[in-house]
């Protein structure tokens, strides 16, 4: 039997488990627990779980396992653990492997909640964390040392779309035996194969492209079977951040169309970046596959497409950015990303509001910066919407 199916085939079929009824669409096993024929069966299952056996939904569930197996097949990972949100995945992956005295090196340009875990939580438990400019390989080299147990980064940063050189950073980490954890949300599992590039553990907020329709929170941790079942699972199943079966079903159905959606979104994102580049109202357009992006060559070496996010630096600061946002007719003002609906965000006053102006400046988040998550609407309509709103600036 052929088992090296291409991506779209895996996204539709991988991991499917059918009940005795032979249902076509994946079943939602909305059950917290499982019944045993005999007391001896119960005892045996608590001693060792067989291949298709479950005991409690916090530990595992058939619908959740389908999602884990399907995304592991997509990513090319040995195994996956599904979590209640993207943040449960980030905190679970890090906390399950770290202990007091360990050292972590992380890129500085992080999602606010990731920064909270690294800066506030880990420190309280005696883990020291150094932050570096993720685009500066010399800074990684200087920060990674014999004490370093883990290296963390968002492979494409939010909202300035900086690109981490995964191969180079992983090589430095592996020299000292550190585990490389990549938050790959912005790059998407469709456009970047982070494990092949050298990462050991890959994390997604499934809330973003995987659901892709703004319905549910979810996350997933991918890695070797030893890491997922030996390190992550015991921690997650006892601390409670597991995914619900209903959410897993939403994410399974999201995976079926993930490749189609991401490709349509990336095509529009690229067309938008080209159309806006050079517009008089904009001081810069940030898109990894634009030749003006400072890491264009690295982005093209690592990614199959430039992704679904475009950031615009609008001349005239916050007032001009707000005029632009308020003039949009199709694109929504909100703060999710990866959604079928296009969404515009003003990071300085929303997602990155809590940072000081100095911190924002060091991350390149100016008052005129607008982040656009490109959806699956008609490309020409999206370009019209953006060009029309830029006239209002």
- 320 touches 281 (CB < 8 A): yes
Contact letters (x/-) for ligand PLP, 240-259, by CB under 6 A?
Answer: --------------------
Interacting residue with ligand PLP among 14, 57, 82, 114 (CB under 6 A): 114
Residue number with CB closer to ligand PLP (242 or 379) = 242
Cβ closer to ligand PLP: 89 or 273?
Answer: 89
Return the residues of window 10-39 that contact ligand PLP according to CB under 6 A.
Answer: none
Report CA-CA distances (Å) from 232 to 90, 91, 154, 245: 11, 10, 20, 19
Nearer to ligand PLP, 194 or 379 (CB): 194
Helix (H, G, I), strand (E, B) or coil at 103: strand
* DSSP state letters, 177-246: TPEEEEE-TTTHHHHB-HHHHT-SEEEEETTTTTT-SS----EEEEE-HIIIIIIIHHHHHHHT-BPPHH
Quote the least distance from Cβ 392 to ligand PLP, whole Å. 28
- Nearer to ligand PLP by Cβ, of 183 and 200: the residue is 183
Q: Shortest distance, CB of residue 343 to ligand PLP, whole angstroms?
A: 12
- Scan residues 43-102 and list those touching ligand PLP (CB under 6 A): 85-87, 90
Q: Indicate whether 217 belongs to the interface with ligand PLP (CB under 6 A).
A: yes
Assigned token pair, 229 = 């079942």
Cα–Cα distances in angstroms (integers) from residue 179 to residues 39, 56, 105, 217, in the given order: 42, 30, 11, 26
Contact call for residue 162 and ligand PLP (CB under 6 A): no
**Counting contacts by CB under 6 A, is residue 106 touching ligand PLP?**
no
Among 41-49, 110-118, 120-128, 249-257, which window interacts with ligand PLP (CB under 6 A)?
110-118
Residue (80 or 281) nearer to ligand PLP, CB: 80
Beta bridge partners of 284: 313
Q: Where do runs of H (alpha helix) occur along 77-215?
A: 86-97, 112-116, 122-124, 137-143, 166-175, 188-191, 194-197
Cα dihedral value 371, 385, 294, 106, nearest 10: 20
Using CB under 6 A as the binding rule, whether residue 111 contacts ligand PLP is answered as yes
The yes or no reply on residue 185 touching ligand PLP (CB under 6 A) is yes
The smaller minimum CB distance to ligand PLP, of residues 118 and 393, is found at 118
Query: Residue 72 has which token pair?
Result: 């592991």
Nearest to 270 by CA among 285, 283, 249, 250: 285
Does 207 interact with ligand PLP (rule: CB under 6 A)?
yes
> Per CB under 6 A, does 134 bind ligand PLP?
no
> Are 118 and 93 spatial neighbours (Cβ–Cβ below 8 Å)?
no
Q: How far is the CB of 184 from ligand PLP (least distance, A)?
A: 8
* 265 binds ligand PLP per the rule CB under 6 A: no
Q: Which two tokens stand for residue 101?
A: 């005295």
Closer residue to ligand PLP, CB minimum distance, 85 or 311: 85
> Given the complex with ligand PLP, which of 216 and 390 has the nearer CB atom?
216
Contact 216, 338 (CB under 8 A): no
Give the residue among 93, 65, 92 at the shortest CA–CA distance from 79.
65
Q: Which residue is nearest to ligand PLP (CB)?
A: 86
> Nearer Cβ to ligand PLP, position 107 or 205?
205
Regarding 219 and contact with ligand PLP (CB under 6 A), the answer is yes
**Residue 154 in the binding site for ligand PLP (CB under 6 A):** yes
Q: What is the distance between the alpha carbons of residues 189 and 71, in angstroms, rounded to a whole number? A: 9
Least Å distance, CB 206 to ligand PLP, is 7
Shortest distance in whole angstroms from residue 85 CB to ligand PLP: 3
CB-nearer residue toward ligand PLP: 29 or 153: 153
Cα pseudo-dihedral 54, 60, 66, 69, rounded to 10: -110
Among 69, 162, 165, 183, binds ligand PLP (CB under 6 A): 183
Residue 316: both structure tokens together: 């005239």
Q: Please tell me the distance from the alpha carbon of residue 340 to that of residue 335, in angstroms, as a whole number.
A: 13
- Is residue 202 part of the contact set for ligand PLP (CB under 6 A)? no
Contact positions vs ligand PLP (CB under 6 A): 85-87, 90, 111, 113-114, 154, 158, 183, 185, 205, 207-208, 217, 219
């Amino acid at each position: 039997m052929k088992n090296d199916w291409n991506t779209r085939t895996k996204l539709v079929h991988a991991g499917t488990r059918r009940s005795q009824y032979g249902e076509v669409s994946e079943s939602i096993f909305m059950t917290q627990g499982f019944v045993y024929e005999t007391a001896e069966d119960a005892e045996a299952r608590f001693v060792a779980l067989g291949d298709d056996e479950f005991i409690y939904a916090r530990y595992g569930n058939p619908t959740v396992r389908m999602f884990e197996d399907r995304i592991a097949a997509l990513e090319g990972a040995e195994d996956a653990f599904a979590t209640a949100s993207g943040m449960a995945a980030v905190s679970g992956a890090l906390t399950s492997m770290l202990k007091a005295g360990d050292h972590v090196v992380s890129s500085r340009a992080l999602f606010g909640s990731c920064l909270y875990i690294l800066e506030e939580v880990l420190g309280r438990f005696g883990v020291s964390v150094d932050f570096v400019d993720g685009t500066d390989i010399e800074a990684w080299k200087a920060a990674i040392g014999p004490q370093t147990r883990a290296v963390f980064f968002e492979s494409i940063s939010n909202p300035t779309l900086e690109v981490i050189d995964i191969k180079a950073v992983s090589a430095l980490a592996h020299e000292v035996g550190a585990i490389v954890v990549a938050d790959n949300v912005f790059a998407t599992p469709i456009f970047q194969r982070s494990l092949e590039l050298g990462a050991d553990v890959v994390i997604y907020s499934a809330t973003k492209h995987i659901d892709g329709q703004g319905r549910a929170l979810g996350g997933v941790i991918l890695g070797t079977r030893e890491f997922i079942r030996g390190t992550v699972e015991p921690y997650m199943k006892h601390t409670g951040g597991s995914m619900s079966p209903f959410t897993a079903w939403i994410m399974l159905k999201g995976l079926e169309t993930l490749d189609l959606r991401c490709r349509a979104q990336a095509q529009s994102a690229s067309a938008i970046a080209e159309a806006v580049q050079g517009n008089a109202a904009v001081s810069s357009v940030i898109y990894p596959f634009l030749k003006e992006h400072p890491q264009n060559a690295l982005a093209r070496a690592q990614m199959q497409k430039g992704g679904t996010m475009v950031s615009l630096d609008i001349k005239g600061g916050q007032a001009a950015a707000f005029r632009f946002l308020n003039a949009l007719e199709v694109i929504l003002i909100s703060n999710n990303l990866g959604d079928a609906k296009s969404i515009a965000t003003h990071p300085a006053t929303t997602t990155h509001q809590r940072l000081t102006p100095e911190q924002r400046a060091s991350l390149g988040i100016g008052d005129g910066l607008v982040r656009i998550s490109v959806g699956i609407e008609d490309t020409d309509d999206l370009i019209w919407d953006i060009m029309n709103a830029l006239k209002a600036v």
